[in-house]
Amino acid sequence: MKTNYINLDVLRALAVLSVVAQHMWNLSASSYWSANHPIVLQYLDNLSFTGVMIFFVHTCLVLMLSMNRAPDFCRGRIFLVRRAFRIYPLCWATILFVLTTGLTDHREANFHALGWRGITANFCLYRTC
């Protein structure tokens, strides 16, 4: 059964637009606005923060609705497997692409120093100390 959640789409759009508007303002604002209108800048920063918080709540709700569609007896397992097959393949392809081509914003990084432990940590999405 497909349910239309138009309100969730509107909520997502408003959250994204508030964050994008704040970023665009920061890119286009001159030093005049920064020095003479701190209230406007504070308002836009608050708007951006509110948009991020709305997006977190929206994502949580959408994930809960997705998990609720699974059968009761193995709801958590099916949800995690579906999420893994949605997230991990692109992540692994990106990591493999960066490791093979060396395209990164850290040109001085030495990928040979990562070793197998570092490469495994990247593929498993955990951080080594």
3-state secondary structure 80-125: HHHHHHHHHHHHHHHHHHHHHHCCCCCCCCCHHHCHHHHHHHHHHC
Q: What angle do CA 9, 15, 21 make, to 5 degrees?
A: 125
3-state class (DSSP) for residue 62? helix
pLDDT score for 1:
47
Query: Domain coordinates of the chain in residue numbers?
Result: 1-69, 73-129
Does the pTM of the predicted model rise above 0.85?
no
**Tokens at 30, concatenated:** 């001159």
Judged against a pLDDT cut of 80, whether residue 63 lies above it is answered with: yes
- Residues 15-28: what's their mean pLDDT? 80
* Residue 90's pLDDT band (cuts 50, 70, 90): very high
